[in-house]
């Protein structure tokens, strides 16, 4: 009996192949090819991700800048991860950013564990948030802004709440995510520019 063609399975296989290729590019730190591989995939979708994004003319510069931070710097909140675990988290955080998702589990080893007080998805998110916050600070500098505030969430831990209600000179802004955060979801503080 002949197998029926399944468009859903074909699409899933195609995406899995692109994910595999992107991981290979990330492992080699070829961030341009990683970004363009995803853009090529999205450009071929009938309903591509993101409203108003022109995937056929995707400029990878912002992706490359974030990926350089993800792979080149380590936030203090993750400083106790060993190199091997940190490299796995870097790949997962990069995939989260590039695919626009908030879960990392799919790209981490099945037996992956850390001694951190939060789960694996949160661990990867802390690295991604760090890169995004660094990009925001750079953007504020380029726009001529001088100060930022830290905005915690309504259920942030006490350490994060202590960062609020202060103006920080950009160069003296505390690192986010905060290394002192004790919330099980990790630090979800963000910077607000002061104009």
Note the pLDDT of residue 50.
82
Range 19-31 average pLDDT: 98
Tell me, yes or no, whether 33 lies in a domain: yes
User: Is 20 part of any domain?
Assistant: yes
Query: Is residue 50 domain-resident?
Result: yes
pLDDT one-digit tens code per residue, 118-132: 999 999 999 999 999
- Which is nearest to 118 in space by CA: 170, 177, 165? 177
Q: What DSSP character marks residue 174? A: P
Quick check: is 188 in a domain? no
Q: Please indicate, yes or no, if residue 53 is contained in any of the structural domains.
A: yes
Residue 64 has pLDDT above 70, yes or no: yes
Name the residue range of residue 135's domain: 10-142
CB 102 within 8 A of CB 132: no
Whether residue 165 is contained in a domain is answered as: no
pLDDT in the model for residue 4: 63
The pLDDT of residue 87: 97
pLDDT at res. 52 = 82
Q: What residue ranges in the chain does DSSP mark as E strands? A: 147-151, 168-169, 190-194
Give pLDDT, residue 47. Answer: 84
Q: What is the pLDDT of residues 130-148, one digit of tens each?
A: 999 999 999 999 999 999 9
Confidence band, pLDDT 50/70/90 cuts, at residue 70: very high
Look at the chain and report how many structural domains it folds into. Answer: 1
In a domain, 174, yes or no: no
Sort 102 into a burial class: Cβ within 10 Å, 0-12 / 13-18 / 19+.
exposed
Name the pTM for this structure. Answer: 0.91
Residue 18 has what pLDDT? 97
| Nearest one of 164, 166, 161 to 181, comparing CA atoms | 161
8 Å CB contact between 135 and 66: yes
Q: If you average pLDDT over every residue of the chain, what do you get?
A: 94
User: Could you tell me which residues are beta bridge partners of residue 151?
Assistant: 190
Asked whether residue 179 is assigned to any structural domain, the reply reads no
């Amino acid at each position: 009996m002949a197998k029926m063609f399944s468009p859903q399975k074909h699409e899933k296989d195609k995406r899995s192949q692109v994910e595999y290729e992107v991981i290979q590019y990330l492992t080699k730190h070829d961030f341009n090819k990683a970004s363009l591989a995803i853009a090529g995939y999205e450009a071929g979708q009938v309903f591509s991700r993101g409203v108003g994004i022109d995937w056929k003319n995707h400029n990878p510069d912002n992706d490359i800048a974030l990926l350089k931070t993800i792979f080149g710097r380590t936030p203090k909140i993750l400083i106790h991860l060993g190199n091997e675990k940190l490299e796995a988290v870097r790949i997962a955080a990069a995939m989260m950013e590039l695919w626009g998702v908030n879960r990392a589990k799919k790209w981490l080893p099945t037996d992956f564990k850390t001694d951190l007080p939060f789960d694996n998805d949160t661990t990867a998110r802390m690295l991604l948030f760090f890169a995004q916050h660094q990009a925001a600070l750079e953007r504020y500098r380029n726009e001529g802004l001088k100060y930022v505030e830290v905005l915690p969430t309504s259920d942030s831990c006490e350490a994060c709440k202590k960062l609020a209600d202060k103006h920080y000179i950009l160069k003296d802004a505390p690192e986010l995510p905060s290394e002192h955060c004790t919330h099980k979801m990790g630090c979800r503080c963000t910077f607000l520019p002061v104009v």
